[in-house]
Amino acid sequence: MDNDRITRRALVLACLAITASGCSWTAQPWGGAIYSPFAAKPASRYRRRHVRYSGNEPVGTIVVDTSQRYLYSIEDAGWAMRYGVAVGEEGRTLKGTASVGRKEEWPSWTPTANMMQRKPHLRQYAGGVSGGPHNPLGAAALYLYRDGYDSMFRLHGTNEPWTIGQAVSSGCIRLTNEDIVDLYKRTPVGTDVLVL
């Protein structure tokens, strides 16, 4: 056997070793960094940064620039925390204003009927996916509401951080798990959201 080849048995044994070492992937409250040893990081330009912001939105507002793939959490004195995001495929992203109607850590996820029609492979998840690192919504979600009703759009984490900077979702705005945890902590229910 070639020593440079990774076999299925070696991969299974390695995963068991990681599990036995105490590395837990259960849905637990955040106590430290949210990471995955198997995840590629987004390009450096999409990493979270404190930046100057020249818009007129009030402090506390969230602004999503879908063309540039950035989300801004507006702070005082012309500053904002900027996060790289993945956005919806062409024609699938919410536009305009909404507000954060509720928040959830390690949310569960069920694909909508429309998503399953467009992507039949998602039918295997019709019964829902429990919260945790395997879940497409990642570590947290901010649920966007319009006129008191759930718009079905979310600002959420992802189990696919390499998609940050792309137009790949069914309409939601994705952030890395580390970034959604940071945004979640600084965003109260009722926060205004503007999607450009």
Asked if 121 is an active-site residue, the reply is no
d(CA 70, CA 47): 10
Asked if 156 is an active-site residue, the reply is yes
From 15, 23, 50, 156, the catalytic residue: 156
From 15, 121, 134, 172, the catalytic residue: 172
The catalytic residue positions are: 156, 172
